[in-house]
């Protein structure tokens, strides 16, 4: 990993380099994605089947696009032999318990004058969950997208995921979906899956919101259909930033940086530290680990492109750059991580102390691992129960409650030259 003494110029160059990873900077794919979406919107199932054949090599038709009970049973048999089923169930318990604390409830505030104000919480009716199936299968992402929707009370959860060439879905993905509570699973991936969920086809119903990560085609498709449906966010490549001082264990830090760098060549892994000695040791340990880990080629390219060790003079300077980068995952490994955490404004998820490694959050702790990337933690949050509800304002006034304020409302409306607004109030007090 390259080690850089942080200056204003080097910080700007690094931030500019990191932003190149954003899906918003891949306009050359937009035309292709738009063509697929238009085709699905026009031809429905027929287009979906053709794209599935072209991109996934699988022959799918209306009779086989939905995962069957027999396929689910087969998946359970495979996963049951691996011992993964019990682990999935333990993770589900933790994730559900955490998200249940996020639930919101309708409220009403009545006053003696006869006015009632409130907020009505309503779950979204139909949600589409997209699950990738390319270089690797991620049952953990299935849990993180479906469980908060179930906790929120979503009526119908429709999952799509690309099949392999035999028309099969990864058994871990299937079992995770069934355990978490998916209502139906369709064998379709890519931009065509997003189009099917957004517009509806003969086989796949239109949903109200689409959540879940995917490749650049999926990200751009979600961006394009926003407005027809709601979406969670435009997910970019994974990233981790470790904020550390001289007390950090270099072996732990190196291992945690690589835990995200192995996702793909676009992943980012950054150490920000005040300690030159820690920087030296982490760099050496990273090189040692890379030689022994299975995804060596991906790790090497990721670190060459977006791996940094940034040296700062003070911890306040280190914290400032961490807030500027606004990383998806932020680990704080300092003498007093809780105190350091109080100065953090921007991060998707914050891990405190040397035993709170990032994979703990990916799989088991309970908080959601669907997080804002590419600096969007400055204004976005982790996926939560809030993403699967709607809030409707409630207003009820009696004549007695409206009468003292009705002239104020009329004057306000007239000042905006909206005389029909004013009249709507005035007619209620005509003599």
Query: pLDDT (tens digit, 9 = 90+) per residue, 106-150?
Result: 999 999 998 999 999 999 999 999 999 855 678 999 999 999 999
Bridge partners (DSSP) listed for residue 130: 160
Whether the pLDDT of residue 410 is over 60: the answer is yes
- Of the listed 71, 179, 262, 328, which one is catalytic? 328
Q: What is the pLDDT of residue 237?
A: 87
Q: What is the pLDDT of residue 193?
A: 98
350-404 residue pLDDT tens: 999 999 999 999 999 999 999 999 999 999 999 999 999 999 999 999 999 999 9
Give the C-alpha separation, 155 to 207, whole Å: 11
Give the C-alpha separation, 113 to 403, whole Å: 10
303-352 residue pLDDT tens: 999 999 999 999 999 999 999 999 999 999 999 999 999 999 999 999 99
Per DSSP, 127 falls in state E
Residue 154: φ, ψ to 5°: -55, 135
- DSSP string computed for 181-239: T-SEEEE--HHHHHHHHHH--SSS---SEEE----HHHHHHHHHHBTTBEES------E
For residue 96, which of 368, 381, 358 has the smallest C-alpha distance?
368
Give the C-alpha separation, 340 to 362, whole Å: 23
Quick check: helix, strand or coil at residue 14?
Answer: helix
Q: What is the pLDDT of residue 135?
A: 55
Give the C-alpha separation, 351 to 81, whole Å: 33
For residue 164, which of 75, 57, 265 has the smallest C-alpha distance?
57
Give the C-alpha separation, 383 to 368, whole Å: 6
Counting residues of the chain whose pLDDT is more than 90, the rounded percentage is: 86
Whether the pLDDT of residue 293 is over 60: the answer is yes
Quick check: helix, strand or coil at residue 72?
Answer: helix
Per DSSP, 169 falls in state -
Q: What is the pLDDT of residue 20?
A: 77
- Of the listed 239, 329, 354, 358, which one is catalytic? 329
Cβ contact 100:152 at 8 Å: no
Cβ contact 377:371 at 8 Å: yes
Q: Which two tokens stand for residue 384?
A: 């939560």
pTM: 0.92
Q: What is the pLDDT of residue 1?
A: 85
What does the longest C-alpha to C-alpha distance in the chain come to?
88
Bridge partners (DSSP) listed for residue 389: 123
Give the strand order in the sheet containing 156-161. Answer: 184-187, 156-161, 126-130, 209-211, 230-231
Residue 111: φ, ψ to 5°: -120, 160
For residue 162, which of 65, 294, 26, 290 has the smallest C-alpha distance?
65
Q: What is the pLDDT of residue 76?
A: 96
Give the mean pLDDT of 230-238.
89
Distances (CA, A) of 266 to 22, 36, 201, 303, 337: 10, 25, 34, 9, 29
Q: What is the pLDDT of residue 24?
A: 66
Q: Is 329 a catalytic residue?
A: yes
For residue 3, which of 255, 263, 273 has the smallest C-alpha distance?
273
Give the C-alpha separation, 139 to 179, whole Å: 11
Give the C-alpha separation, 70 to 77, whole Å: 11
Residue 163: φ, ψ to 5°: -85, 165
| Contacts for 308 with CB less than 8 Å, ≥ 6 apart | 1, 2, 4, 14, 269, 270, 271
Q: What is the mean pLDDT of the chain?
A: 94
Crossing angle of the two packed helices 84-100 and 69-82, in degrees rounded to 10:
100
Cβ burial 289-299 (10 Å sphere, 16+ → b, else e): bbeeeebeebb
Give the mean pLDDT of 260-274.
93
pLDDT band (50, 70, 90) for residue 21: confident
Q: What is the pLDDT of residue 311?
A: 96
48-103 residue pLDDT tens: 999 999 999 999 999 999 999 999 999 999 998 888 999 999 999 999 999 999 99
Q: Which two tokens stand for residue 39?
A: 């085709």
Q: What is the pLDDT of residue 49?
A: 97
Give the C-alpha separation, 330 to 270, whole Å: 10
pLDDT band (50, 70, 90) for residue 25: low
* CA atoms within 13 A of residue 147's CA, in its CB half-sphere: 29
314: left (phi over 0), alpha (psi -120 to 50) or beta: beta
Whether the pLDDT of residue 37 is over 70: the answer is yes
Cβ contact 334:315 at 8 Å: yes
Give the C-alpha separation, 187 to 64, whole Å: 8
Quick check: helix, strand or coil at residue 156?
Answer: strand
For 297-404, strand residue ranges (E) read 307-311, 329-333, 349-352, 389-396
Q: Is 421 a catalytic residue?
A: no
pLDDT band (50, 70, 90) for residue 207: very high
């Amino acid at each position: 990993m390259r080690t850089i003494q942080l200056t204003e110029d080097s910080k700007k160059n690094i931030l500019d380099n990191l932003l190149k990873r954003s899906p918003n900077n891949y306009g050359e794919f937009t035309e292709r994605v738009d063509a697929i979406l238009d085709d699905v919107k026009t031809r429905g199932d027929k287009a979906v089947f053709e794209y599935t054949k072209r991109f996934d090599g699988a022959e799918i038709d209306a009779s086989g696009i939905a995962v069957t009970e027999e396929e689910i049973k087969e998946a359970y048999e495979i996963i049951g032999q691996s011992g993964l089923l019990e682990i999935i169930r333990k993770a589900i318990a933790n994730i559900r318990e955490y998200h249940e604390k996020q639930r919101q409830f309708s409220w009403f505030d009545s006053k003696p004058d006869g006015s009632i104000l409130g907020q009505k919480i309503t779950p979204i009716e139909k949600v589409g969950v997209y699950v990738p199936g390319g270089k690797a299968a991620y049952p953990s992402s299935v849990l993180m997208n479906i469980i908060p929707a179930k906790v929120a009370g979503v009526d119908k959860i429709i999952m799509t995921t690309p099949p392999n060439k035999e028309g099969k879905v990864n058994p871990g993905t299937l079992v995770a979906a069934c355990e978490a509570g998916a209502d139906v699973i369709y064998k379709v991936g890519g931009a065509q899956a997003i189009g099917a969920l957004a517009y509806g086809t003969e086989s796949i119903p239109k949903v109200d919101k689409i959540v879940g990560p995917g490749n650049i085609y999926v990200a751009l498709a979600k961006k394009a259909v926003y407005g027809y449906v709601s979406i969670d966010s435009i997910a970019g490549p994974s990233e981790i930033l470790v904020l550390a001082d001289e007390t950090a264990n270099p072996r732990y830090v190196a291992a945690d940086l690589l835990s995200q760098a192995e996702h793909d060549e676009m992943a980012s892994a950054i150490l920000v530290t005040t300690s030159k000695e820690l920087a030296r040791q982490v760099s050496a340990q990273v090189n040692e680990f890379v030689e022994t880990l299975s995804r060596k080629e991906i790790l090497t390219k990721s670190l060459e492109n977006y791996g940094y060790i940034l040296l700062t003079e003070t911890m306040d300077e280190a914290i400032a750059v961490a807030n500027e980068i606004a990383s998806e995952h932020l680990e704080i490994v300092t003498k007093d991580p809780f105190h350091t955490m109080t100065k953090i404004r921007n991060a998707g998820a914050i891990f405190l102390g040397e035993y709170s490694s990032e994979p703990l959050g990916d799989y088991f702790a309970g908080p959601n691992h669907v997080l804002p990337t590419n600096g969007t933690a400055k204004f976005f949050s982790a996926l939560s129960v809030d993403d699967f509800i709607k809030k409707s304002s409630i207003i009820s006034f009696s004549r007695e409650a409206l009468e003292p304020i009705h002239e104020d409302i009329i004057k306000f409306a007239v000042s905006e030259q909206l005389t029909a607004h004013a009249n709507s109030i005035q007619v209620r007090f005509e003599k």
